[in-house]
Amino acid sequence: MTVAWRPGRGPGWALLVVVSVVMAAPVAVTVWSITDPSVEVWRELWRTRLPGMIVETAMLVALVVTGTVIVGTALAWLVTAHEFRGRRLLSWLLMTPIAIPGYVLGFVWLDTLQGPLGARAVRSIWLCAAVLIVSLYPYVYVFAWSAFREQSPRTIDVARTLGRSSFAAWWRVVVPMARPSIAAGAALVAMEVLTDVGTVRLFNVSTIADGVLRVWFGTGNRDAAAELAVLLVVAAASLIAVERALRGRARYTQTGARDATSGRPVTGLRAAAVNVAGWGVLCIAVVVPVARLVGWALRAHRLGQTETISGDLGFHTASSLKVAGAATIACLVIGTTMVFIARDRGRWGAALGRLASLGYAVPGPVVAIGVVVTLAALDRRGWWSGEVLLVGSLAGLVYAMVVRFLAVAHHGIGASVSKVSASAVASARTLGAGPLRVATRVELPLARAGVIAAATLVAIDSLKELPVTLLLRPFGIEPLPVWVWQATSESLWVQASVPSLMIVAIGMPLVGLLLWSVERGAQVVS
């Protein structure tokens, strides 16, 4: 609502429509069947599993979102509002759980707790939620952390001079201003939980996403499964509506200059408490799982199975890098384009933007089959030379990844571009720059940290992605998660250790980049 200008019609609209349709097509061809509902199947489902699935899904989403918001926000506050020895290291490390796939964290903790707790107690929605919280809280943490850092300490100082305590100042001033960021992180978490199909099954939690696969793969009834998937899309749409309501019309920009460090020095007991909280979470999320993986790998090495568990590591790693790299670049280019062409096109532009993000609300396997249906239909048209098929090509796999993760890029880039000071844009406009020039010369450079952060998130997501990769990988491409799956589906934890560690190892520098970009963002966007 700040700076409005009439966008050019024509090409922008056309591009927006085409991109949205291409991105939504795989989901659309699958959910289309809702127009002709399988009444019998629904009736049966309603009598049997559906109520339970809805309750468990709602419960899991509520638990995990609440948990991640509390843990993520609290940790972000600990490391931004305080200054203590090792603060920088801790604030980086606290983001690293994002590099560990939920299904890896799941099987490691399942195996670890099975002994002390018993196989029955371990398989519960509570433990499933706990695993998802420690694996997903970094989404909230990273957004909250950057939001807290972006706020001028003077704001807090003002609050404190007005008589507020340190915590009250944070709670009444800092948190409300960071609310859009925290809500954005929580929305990502909610989507991840809604579409998770790996972790929930380990813990016998029966969610709607799990039900989609149950109906589809158990009975071969694709239509009924697709209709069930529509429930997920509806749930996701409602969550997004809630997020937008929470965000309200809030739009905060920072104008004041900022000091680089803003934490309040803490020592002694307080410092110890901060460290215990931070390192405690880290132990659960990273230290123990990685230690167990390393332990398994070493045991296999001692037993002389080094070749079995680590042969072809280079090949699998190269596959992973290739796929994740291509998916990231594609998401970045398309996501940035979408942000700029969609935002000034009112309600319809926003609607198309959301249409393109649909894939994020749908479980990986559904997206994958939707992509196969779409590409197979294109292949049958034979528009290109008969020998080249899109189905089973690297292009097909990357397309599916983009459908699945475009929302992450779109959301992230959109959020950071919207934070660019309205006056900077207005100045550039006043000086005669056109929208494209403003976008490329003013907004993107100012928001570049956000763009890099979004790219990193997509890269980490595609690196960990399992169902789409499993179903669509072309011959000669065997990314690491596939190897993990092949081992874990046979309960060969030891054989899963090396590829799991490799995924983590590739993820760590990406997490570093994420932190770096958020820090840079803190200096650039003001």
Partner 1 sequence: MRHSARTVLSATLVIGALVPAGCGDDTGGGAAAEGGGQIVTVYTGRHYGIEAVFDKFTAATGIEVRFTTGKDPELRERLIAEKANTPADLLMTADAANVELAAAAGVLAPVASETLKKVIPTELRSPEGTWFALSRRARVIISSTERVDSPPTTYAALGDPAWKGKVCLRPSTHPYTQSLVASIIAGVGEPAAEAVVSSWIKNDPLFIDSDTDIYKAIATGECDVAIANSYYLGRLQTEDPTFPVAITWPDQEGRGAHVNVSTAGVTANAPNPKGALRLLEWLATDGQKMFSDANFEFPADPSVEPAALVTAWGPFVGDTAAIVRLGEFQPAAVALLSRVGYE
User: Under rule CB under 8 A, which residues in 488-507 are in contact with partner 1?
Assistant: 489-491
Q: Is the dihedral of CA 353, 151, 459, 209 positive or negative?
A: negative
- Interatomic CA distance for residues 316 and 463, integer angstroms: 12
Segment near partner 1 (CB under 8 A); pick from 13-21, 65-73, 247-255, 265-273: 13-21
Binding mask 354-373 for partner 1 (x = CB under 8 A): -----------x--xx--xx
CB of 320 to partner 1, least distance (A): 14
Q: Which of 399, 414, 503, 521 binds partner 1 (CB under 8 A)?
A: 399
Q: Which of 422, 470, 513, 524 binds partner 1 (CB under 8 A)?
A: 470
Q: Which of 2, 5, 8, 18 binds partner 1 (CB under 8 A)?
A: 18
Q: Which of 12, 27, 33, 186 binds partner 1 (CB under 8 A)?
A: 33
Q: Is the dihedral of CA 434, 436, 440, 444 positive or negative?
A: positive
φ and ψ of 264, to 5 deg: -90, 125
Spell 175-212 as b/e; 16+ CB within 10 A means b.
Answer: bebbbbbbbbbbbbbbbbbbbbbbbbbbbebbbbbbbb
CB of 291 to partner 1, least distance (A): 21
Closer to partner 1 by Cβ: residue 5 or 126:
126
Q: Which of 462, 450, 477 is nearest to 327 (CA)?
A: 462
DSSP label at residue 36? S
CB of 247 to partner 1, least distance (A): 30
CB of 239 to partner 1, least distance (A): 25
Within its chain, how far is the Cα of 36 from the centroid?
A: 33
CB of 125 to partner 1, least distance (A): 12
Q: Which of 12, 16, 25, 317 binds partner 1 (CB under 8 A)?
A: 25
Segment near partner 1 (CB under 8 A); pick from 47-55, 259-267, 270-278, 344-352: 47-55
The answer to the question of residue 87 lying near partner 1 (CB under 8 A) is: no
Q: Which of 286, 37, 75 is nearest to 185 (CA)?
A: 75
CB of 199 to partner 1, least distance (A): 12
Count of residues that bind partner 1 according to CB under 8 A: 86
DSSP label at residue 221? -
Segment near partner 1 (CB under 8 A); pick from 110-118, 287-295, 420-428, 429-437: 110-118
The answer to the question of residue 251 lying near partner 1 (CB under 8 A) is: no
The answer to the question of residue 377 lying near partner 1 (CB under 8 A) is: yes
Where helices occur in 123-254 by DSSP H, the ranges are 125-150, 153-161, 166-169, 175-195, 199-202, 208-219, 222-247
> In the 3-class helix/strand/coil scheme, how is 375-443 assigned residue by residue?
HHHHHHHCCCCCCCCCCCCHHHHHHHHHHHHHHHHHHHHHHHHHCCCHHHHHHHHHCCCCHHHHHHHHH
Please report, as residue ranges, which positions from 283 to 342 form the binding site for partner 1 (by CB under 8 A). Answer: 322, 325-327, 329-330, 333-334
Q: Which of 350, 384, 430, 441 binds partner 1 (CB under 8 A)?
A: 384
Q: Which of 127, 402, 420, 463 binds partner 1 (CB under 8 A)?
A: 402
Closer to partner 1 by Cβ: residue 255 or 385:
385
- Interatomic CA distance for residues 91 and 81, integer angstroms: 12
CB of 438 to partner 1, least distance (A): 25
Q: Which of 29, 175, 318, 513 binds partner 1 (CB under 8 A)?
A: 29
Closer to partner 1 by Cβ: residue 478 or 519:
478
For residue 451, what are the CA distances in angstroms to 328, 410, 416, 457?
A: 11, 9, 7, 10
**Tokens describing residue 311:** 């042969």
DSSP label at residue 468? H
Residues β-bridged to residue 83 = 265
- Interatomic CA distance for residues 156 and 168, integer angstroms: 10
φ and ψ of 433, to 5 deg: -75, 140
Please report, as residue ranges, which positions from 421 to 460 form the binding site for partner 1 (by CB under 8 A). Answer: none
Q: Which of 64, 193, 341, 391 binds partner 1 (CB under 8 A)?
A: 391
Segment near partner 1 (CB under 8 A); pick from 155-163, 275-283, 444-452, 468-476: 468-476
Cβ–Cβ under 8 Å, residues 379 and 390: yes
Q: Which of 471, 512, 524, 526 binds partner 1 (CB under 8 A)?
A: 471
Please report, as residue ranges, which positions from 112 to 151 form the binding site for partner 1 (by CB under 8 A). Answer: 114-115, 118-120, 123
Residue 264 host element (H or E): strand 264-265
Q: Which of 263, 474, 520, 524 binds partner 1 (CB under 8 A)?
A: 474
Within its chain, how far is the Cα of 422 from the centroid?
A: 28
The answer to the question of residue 219 lying near partner 1 (CB under 8 A) is: yes
Please report, as residue ranges, which positions from 166 to 205 form the binding site for partner 1 (by CB under 8 A). Answer: 201-202, 204
Neighbours of 54 (CB within 10 A): 16
